[in-house]
């Protein structure tokens, strides 16, 4: 099963010269598909095959530079231990991250913005290592529950989530102003799971594989997609992230008249498919769980596990407020 990642300019197009120079590290300087001029509106297709990693690149030409880079990646031998695939994929991810940094662009994985995330954090998401003793791979077939029934079950548990936030030093009035101190308080409950915690690899009916902590108390959404399987966070952390995501969504819903909960329906490989989402007048979807996991946990990860070579800014209350503002703008 493949997944898509890439680089999307935030403003100005990516420099063609910089793009060619960086991609030359992977493809070589004499790759005709890379060095040959591409007309505006057209794109170059590139292939790079490792021992395990298979990648197909689409480099789109803009007015004067590069308007977008999309890379489809797949593991040619997914049943084998992940080490080789992870090592090869790290070359692709690090290159895309450098392109994004140099061009002031966004680095995106399956439509989730992971700009600023560390290389290891991205690899933990898309190519998790065996992070402790794990049993045989488990196949998890369809549950028989419809997406609509799941949405009803998810919303019915809303009060239980909000109860976890009762100790916050802020009034839970679903206001924008309260989001900052709420997140600052919640960060204190977020901790990484022990590196040697036992894990199982679970194959889903979709064909994807997720890592699941053995015997853990996990939120109902855990493992519904590869993105929604953050095994490196403790049970307490996952419960808190679950509560924060729901509270954020309800704050957005109340701030934007006409916005309502729906089942996410999107084009193939969009992680919103079948998930609880908010849809406003614009028709655009806001999926709160993936949004919180994509945007807010990276800084906390490196607060708990600092990288002295590449310091990361600490989490602040403004982080959750920014997610609120983005979601309100999306709801339109």
Least confident of 19-33, 274-288, 317-331: 19-33
pLDDT digits (tens, 9 = 90+) for 63-74: 888 889 999 888
What confidence tens digit (pLDDT) does each residue in 181-199 have? 999 999 999 999 998 889 8
pLDDT at residue 1, rounded to an integer: 56
User: Measuring CA to CA, which residue among 75, 67, 71, 62 is closest to residue 94?
Assistant: 71
Query: pLDDT exceeding 70 applies to what percent of the chain?
Result: 85
Top mean-pLDDT range of 83-92, 241-250, 323-332: 241-250
CA distance 121 to 127: 10
Q: Which two tokens stand for residue 79?
A: 């049943």
Distances (CA, A) of 127 to 2, 46, 158, 266, 318: 12, 22, 32, 24, 30
- Angle at Cα 113 formed by Cα 55 and Cα 16, nearest 5°? 60
| Beta-carbon contacts of residue 113 (< 8 Å; ≥ 6 apart) | 106, 107, 294, 295
Kindly report, residue by residue over 20-55, the tens digit of the pLDDT. Answer: 888 888 877 544 455 455 666 677 788 888 878 888
Query: How high is the pLDDT of residue 131?
Result: 44
Residue 162's pLDDT band, with cuts at 50, 70 and 90, is very high
Of 27-41, 221-235, 236-250, which range is least confident?
27-41
Burial annotation 45-60 (CB, 10 A radius, 16+ → b, else e):
ebebebebbbbbbebb
Residue 205 scores a pLDDT above 50: yes
Average pLDDT (160-171) is 96
297 or 175, greater pLDDT: 175
Q: So what's the pLDDT on residue 312?
A: 78
What is the per-residue pLDDT for 207? 57
pLDDT at position 200 is 85
DSSP E strands, 119-187: 138-140
Per-residue confidence (pLDDT) for residue 121, from 0 to 100: 79
- Whether the per-residue pLDDT at 128 is higher than 90: the answer is no
């Amino acid at each position: 099963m493949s997944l898509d990642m890439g680089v999307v300019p935030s403003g100005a197009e990516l420099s063609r010269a910089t793009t060619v120079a960086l991609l030359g590290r992977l493809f070589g300087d004499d790759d005709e598909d890379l060095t040959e001029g591409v007309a505006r509106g057209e794109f170059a297709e590139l292939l790079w095959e490792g021992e395990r990693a298979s990648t197909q690149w689409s480099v789109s030409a803009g007015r004067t530079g590069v308007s977008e880079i999309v890379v489809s990646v797949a593991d040619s031998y997914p049943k084998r231990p992940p080490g080789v695939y992870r090592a090869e994929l790290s070359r692709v991810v690090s290159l895309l991250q450098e392109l994004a940094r140099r061009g002031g662009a966004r680095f995106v994985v399956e439509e989730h913005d992971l700009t600023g995330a560390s290389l290891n954090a991205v690899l933990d998401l898309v190519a998790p290592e065996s992070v402790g003793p794990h049993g045989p791979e488990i196949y998890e077939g369809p549950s028989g529950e419809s997406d609509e029934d799941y949405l009803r079950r998810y919303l019915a548990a809303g009060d239980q989530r909000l109860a976890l936030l009762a100790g916050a030093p802020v009034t839970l009035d679903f206001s924008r102003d309260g989001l900052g101190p709420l997140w600052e308080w919640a960060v204190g409950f977020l901790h990484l799971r022990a590196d040697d915690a036992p894990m199982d690899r679970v194959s889903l009916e979709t064909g994807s594989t997720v890592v699941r902590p053995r015997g853990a108390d996990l939120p109902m959404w855990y493992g519904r997609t590869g993105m929604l399987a953050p095994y490196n966070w403790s049970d307490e952390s996952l419960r808190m992230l679950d509560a924060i995501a729901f509270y954020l969504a309800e704050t957005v819903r109340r701030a934007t008249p006409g916005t309502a909960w729906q089942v996410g329906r999107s084009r193939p490989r969009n992680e919103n498919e079948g998930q609880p989402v908010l849809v406003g007048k614009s028709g655009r979807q806001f999926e709160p769980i993936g949004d919180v996991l994509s945007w807010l946990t990276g800084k906390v990860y490196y607060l708990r596990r600092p990288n002295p070579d590449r310091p990361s800014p600490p989490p602040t209350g403004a982080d959750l407020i920014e997610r609120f503002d983005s979601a309100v703008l999306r709801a339109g």
